[in-house]
Amino acid sequence: MKRWIVFAGAVLALATPVHAKSILFVGNSFTFGAGSPVLRYRADAVTDLNGDGIGGVPALFRTFAEQLKLDWQVSLETSPGKDLAWHFAERRQVFAGKWDVVLLQGYSTLDREHPGDSVRHLAAASELADMFRLANPAVSVRLVSTWSRADLTWQPGGHWYGQDIHRMAADIAVANCSAKLRDPISVGAAWSRAIHAGLADPNPYDGIAPGQIDLWGADHYHASTAGYYLEALVEFGAVTGVDPRRLGKHERAASELGFSPKLTVALQRIAAEQLKVKPCG
């Protein structure tokens, strides 16, 4: 009799479906891929909670997951030029609910009116995290530390003008590390790593050096297609624990976005190296 009970239990376990993990991306143009083909890339593969038909970085994440047979249901709620306080005040009814993972990407300077000031940003991140935890105490809520803006570093009047190109990204990361959340995801540090490694040019205003790429878009503010791809690789690796290099030189999204195998591998390597570094030291 006991053997039949064990057998029946095994059959039931096999028949029980394994539910996909859910991830929500909350952010702005840095998340939805403004100014690049990433914006509309595979929009049908993700759920845009605003109904704007955006694929963005979330669609890259989903594409990576599919290739490695990882079952992730990916949703996004984005709006251009908005910070986390705006999302909490204006859109929380859109995305409130039970999620396994939530990535929060704030305004590029932390505070539009007071660049570098993290008070409003961190308060909103805390409010959002509390809301998500009420729905699912086990949820993983993480901030995304974004990149240095070339326009604010190399151009007079920019808040980080005259400082090292890596300083803005470092300041964003320090602010996010002070949040009472899981370690933030170091996208900006990956950009800095790509520059240090000689893969990416540090100053798009004086031209792009031969053999290097531009991680910024034409406005020197948003990312280029390569910049968004690197963002997606870092976020994917941080969330799933998978080494991005497993995707390989013929990774689908890279091929469809026009990258050479050499560039694809180089970006995956940068992401993998950055993921080995503890975000908050």
Domain architecture of the chain: domains with CATH: 18-275 (3.40.50.1110)
Q: Which of 230, 238, 239, 235 shows the shortest CA–CA distance to 270?
A: 230
SS3 267: helix
Q: Which residues contact 257 (CB under 8 A, 6 or more apart)?
A: 37, 38, 41, 225, 229
Please tell me the distance from the alpha carbon of residue 244 to that of residue 268, in angstroms, as a whole number: 5
Q: pLDDT, tens digit, for every residue of 109-160?
A: 999 999 999 999 999 999 999 999 999 999 999 999 999 999 999 999 999 9
CB 46 within 8 A of CB 55: yes
Angle (CA) 250 254 259, round 5°: 95
Q: Read off the DSSP letter of residue 161.
A: T
The bridge status of strand 101-104 relative to strand 72-78 is: unpaired
Q: What is the per-residue DSSP string for 230-258?
A: HHHHHHHHHHH---GGGG-TT-HHHHHTT
pLDDT in tens, the chain (281 residues): 444 444 344 433 433 345 689 999 999 999 999 999 999 999 999 999 999 999 999 999 999 999 999 999 999 999 999 999 999 999 999 999 999 999 999 999 999 999 999 999 999 999 999 999 999 999 999 999 999 999 999 999 999 999 999 999 999 999 999 998 989 999 999 999 999 999 999 999 999 999 999 999 999 999 999 999 999 999 999 999 999 999 999 999 999 999 999 999 999 999 999 999 999 97
Write down the pLDDT at residue 40.
98
185 beta partners: 144
Question: What Cα–Cα distance (Å) separates residue 36 from each residue in 56, 85, 199?
Answer: 9, 26, 20
Q: Check residue 16 and give its pLDDT.
A: 36
Question: Rounded distance, CA 219 to CA 150, Å?
Answer: 9
Give the pLDDT of residue 281: 78
Separation of alpha carbons 210 and 74, rounded Å = 37
